[in-house]
Chain A
């Protein structure tokens, strides 16, 4: 019961943040909404028993990546987004299409509810120890490839952001 109440609270915050991200005109407000979404998602991960992922979500997403975003927004001095008339076709087909899609997904998930089963609280031990054991034993090669990816990303960012490009 407590699990359900906590899920409802944090999913409501999550949905509100996502809608706020769409509704805001200024990018800095969108960034703050996205931070709210990520923090509440971290709480949902915690509810699902994924402690390590929840911590990493707060540190990497809500911390590092969003700080990068806010920094770039302030650096570029980005103003409010100018709106020149929403497309009528998009409104006519997009909003009903989105609603129909969501209802269809809900319908399919409800139909399969019998086999989908229940999510137990604290059923799984997603601690840093378990994840680390798996990461350094079964997923060692992808983990090492990840470090190469990060290195390439750093070099690419430095080359792209260098002034002039001489």
Chain B
């Protein structure tokens, strides 16, 4: 029997780690992994609230988040492969196609 805010604090820390990785990393694959970390942090909050409010809806939403994450991983990694083919690099600083 432990307080809910333990879980919420852990979730907030993981989300902060994901944001930090998104901002400081230069490798496009690592940035993508940071996004997955953020999704996982949100999932933990969902499960904690679902348990506390005695409702299964939160767990169903976690299921949907996982499905969207799987689809996103497939498309994102395909984009990474395509970028690597044309640019021969994984460094996001070198990929400036959309830069003005």
Contacts and interface: CB of A to CB of B under 8 A. Distances in A.
Determine if chain A interacts with chain B.
yes
Contacts of B47: 44-45, 48, 50, 53
The majority secondary structure among interface residues of chain B is helix
Contacts of A113: 3, 5
B33 A34 contact: yes
Contact of A153 (B3, B9, B33, B75): B75
The majority secondary structure among interface residues of chain A is helix
Nearest to B32: A69
Q: How large is the interface on B (under 10, 10 to 19, 20 to 34, 35 or more residues)?
A: 35 or more
Contact of B91 (A57, A82, A117): A82
B58 to A, nearest CB: 9
A75 B50 CA distance: 39
Interface of B: 1-10, 12-14, 16-18, 20-21, 23-27, 29-30, 32-34, 36-37, 40, 43-44, 47-48, 50-52, 54, 56-57, 59-60, 62-64, 66-75, 77-82, 84-85, 90-91
Interface of A: 3-4, 7, 11, 14-15, 18-19, 21-22, 27, 30-31, 34, 37-38, 41, 44-45, 48-50, 52-53, 56-57, 60-61, 64-65, 68-69, 72-73, 75-76, 78, 81-83, 86, 90, 94, 98, 101-102, 105-106, 109-110, 112-113, 116-121, 123-124, 126, 130-131, 134-135, 138-139, 142, 146, 149-150, 152-154, 156-158, 160-161, 163
